[in-house]
Amino acid sequence: MAATVEPIPDVEMTDVSDSQEKKDAAVIQEIRDNIRQIEKAVQTKEARFMLRVLRSWSVTRRKLNAVVLWSVINGFYTHSASDKELLLSYVTTPADIPEAIKMRTGKNATGALLPEIDGYIRLLVLVQLIDKEDYKKAVEFSDLLMVKLTDKNRRTLDLITAKAYFYHMRCYELTDQLHKIKGFLYSRLRTATLKKDYEGQAVLINCLLRNYLHYNLYDQADKLVQKSVFPEQASNNECARFLYYQGRIKAARLEYSVAHKNLVQALRKAPQNSAIGFRQTVQKLAVTVELLLGDIPERHIFRQASLRKALVPYFRLTQSVRLGDLTMFSETLENFKKNFLSDHTYMLIVRLRHNVIKTAIRAIGASYSRISVDYIAEKLGLDSPKDAEFIISKAIRDGVIQATIDPEHGYVQSKEPVDIYCTLEPQMAFHQRISFCLNLHNESVKAMRYPPKSYGKDLESAEERREREQQDLELAKEMAEEDDDGFP
């Protein structure tokens, strides 16, 4: 029998250019939908429509390209040739110029754009310049954008202006010129505070704190935190940034308990499925502060997929502190010095040397009831027994170990261990947990979204409901009496 050969199915060839055109068309339609939401926010004076647009900002930013911006600018700036030429001069001309799409219809097709829509499109151009690393043009364009937005006095423009403040600061940060805009940020903060622009106020406070921390001006940053009031109405992202900056300031000022509390709250406020870079940065500082507090971070923190690679140096650091190994600590500090410097944690990690020594002394005290000072100096790798004696004296004074030093015979005598349940430590631990749960509950209640005030207009009051129920009851009685009368 002859073998039968199965026919090979035809493979459908897809054109790459067609698929890219479809993607660009989808992005353009998405931007048009966002602009409709902005128009709705201006007409109804409801900020939730504007917030809906800004929540999708990161997704829209990733899909931007020259073709999309070229089409949007040509489609919306039909009223002003000068504005269109200005924006197109900052956008790369696409290789294949697409057909112009008419995006404005109706009576306002030739009228001026709403300032909110104009600001939104200009922000798209600005982030495209930043993503293409054309920082010189980005600084120039952000200056023009600030002039354009600060001239307007519209409450519906506040959220877009707040977003523009951040990118304005980012442009100057990327060009290492942050010192030039400090006065501008302070003047805008005064204006935002007077106008009760809560989102702009939060963004500007964070920008100023970032400015100070960039130049390691921790005292000035702390004074700004003390003398300014961060608005409770700010978004979660801005709250997370503010808490992180507070954690950095408090850690530098040796207030480790407050710093750790702020960093944990920043991690809870931050987005859980995105903003991985921010969560990595906060977690690195949180691990360092927790080690400075004398605690050991839980192992599951280092096993998270998004944090595993970034936290490798800090995992080695945690191991050295847990074991009290000074040699391992010195090697980790030397091998990962560049990482610690770029993470702004090197200054704090240097302070951990005392914690490593304390851990080693605690382990020695738990293992030996009596041990010579010379042997302790050898175990710790210290230069002389005299240094070891000073370190042990400080450890005894700080309550690290319960022991006494016999300077005549040169040994350390450990005391009998005290039952921890006879002390106040369990009570303090329970108090800390209960306070954390109560604070988390309060923050959750504050973060809840409630319907607008106009929602209750169409709902009946309690008196109206009782009156309606009484009428229904009377009507039911009348119908029952009529039914009774109908029967002989």
For 403, the enclosing helix (H) or strand (E) is strand 403-406
Same domain, 316 and 400: no
87 inside domain: yes
Final residue in a domain of this structure, among 142, 177, 212: 177
Q: 336: closest CA among 305, 321, 364, 315?
A: 315
390 inside domain: yes
Total domains present in the chain: 3
What pLDDT is attached to residue 375?
65
Same domain, 86 and 117: yes
What pLDDT is attached to residue 247?
92
Q: Which amino acid is at 1?
A: M
- Termini Cα distance of the chain: 96
Q: Are 131 and 68 in contact (CB under 8 A)?
A: no
173 inside domain: yes
Same domain, 326 and 430: no
Same domain, 301 and 420: no
Q: Taken in order 165, 166, 171, 175, is the CA torsion positive or negative?
A: positive
Tokens of 102: 């008419």
What pLDDT is attached to residue 444?
81
Residues in contact with 152: Cβ distance below 8 Å, sequence separation at least 6, in sequence order: 115
Same domain, 325 and 405: no
Same domain, 350 and 380: no
Per-residue pLDDT tens digits for 199-237: 888 999 999 999 999 888 889 999 998 888 888 888 888
Which SS3 state, helix, strand or coil, does residue 131 take? helix
Strand order in the sheet with 370-372: 370-372, 411-414, 403-406
Q: 141: closest CA among 179, 87, 188, 177?
A: 87
Q: 163: closest CA among 258, 249, 86, 50?
A: 50
Q: Taken in order 223, 226, 229, 232, is the CA torsion positive or negative?
A: positive
Q: Are 404 and 370 in contact (CB under 8 A)?
A: no
Same domain, 362 and 382: no
Same domain, 298 and 422: no
Tokens of 247: 């954690």
Final residue in a domain of this structure, among 435, 461, 476: 435
CATH number for the domain spanning 382: value is 1.10.10.10
206 inside domain: no
416 inside domain: yes
Q: Which amino acid is at 151?
A: D
Q: SS3 sequence, 239-289? A: HHHHHHHHHHHHHHCCCHHHHHHHHHHHHHHCCCCCCHHHHHHHHHHHHHH
204 inside domain: no
What pLDDT is attached to residue 236?
85
Same domain, 170 and 301: no
Final residue in a domain of this structure, among 313, 345, 366: 366
485 inside domain: no
Which SS3 state, helix, strand or coil, does residue 371 take? strand
What pLDDT is attached to residue 54?
84
CA-CA distances (angstroms) from residue 238 to 5, 133, 242?
A: 66, 25, 6
Burial of residue 168 (number of CB atoms within 10 Å: 0-12, 13-18, 19+)? buried
CA-CA distances (angstroms) from residue 141 to 116, 289, 416?
A: 17, 40, 71
170 inside domain: yes
Same domain, 358 and 402: no
CB atoms within 10 A of CB 182: 15
Same domain, 383 and 328: no
Q: What is the pLDDT along the chain (488 residues), one digit of tens a residue?
A: 444 444 544 445 445 566 777 887 888 888 888 888 888 888 888 888 888 888 888 888 888 888 888 888 877 777 777 888 888 888 877 766 666 666 666 666 667 788 888 888 888 888 888 888 888 888 888 888 888 888 888 888 888 888 889 988 999 888 888 888 888 889 988 988 888 888 888 999 999 999 999 888 889 999 998 888 888 888 888 899 999 999 999 998 888 888 999 999 888 888 887 778 888 899 999 999 988 887 888 888 888 888 888 888 899 988 888 887 788 888 888 888 898 888 888 888 888 887 787 777 777 766 666 667 766 666 666 666 666 666 777 776 766 666 677 666 666 666 666 667 777 888 888 888 898 888 888 888 877 766 665 555 555 666 777 787 888 888 777 766 655 544 44
What pLDDT is attached to residue 487?
45
Q: Which amino acid is at 469?
A: E
Same domain, 30 and 165: yes
Residues in contact with 53: Cβ distance below 8 Å, sequence separation at least 6, in sequence order: 34, 37, 38, 41, 120
Backbone torsions φ then ψ of 5, nearest 5 degrees: -100, 125
What pLDDT is attached to residue 381?
66
CB atoms within 10 A of CB 386: 11
CA-CA distances (angstroms) from residue 291 to 60, 83, 167, 247, 433?
A: 40, 55, 35, 14, 19
Tokens 């319960």 correspond to what residue?
Answer: 402
Domain that holds residue 346: 294-366
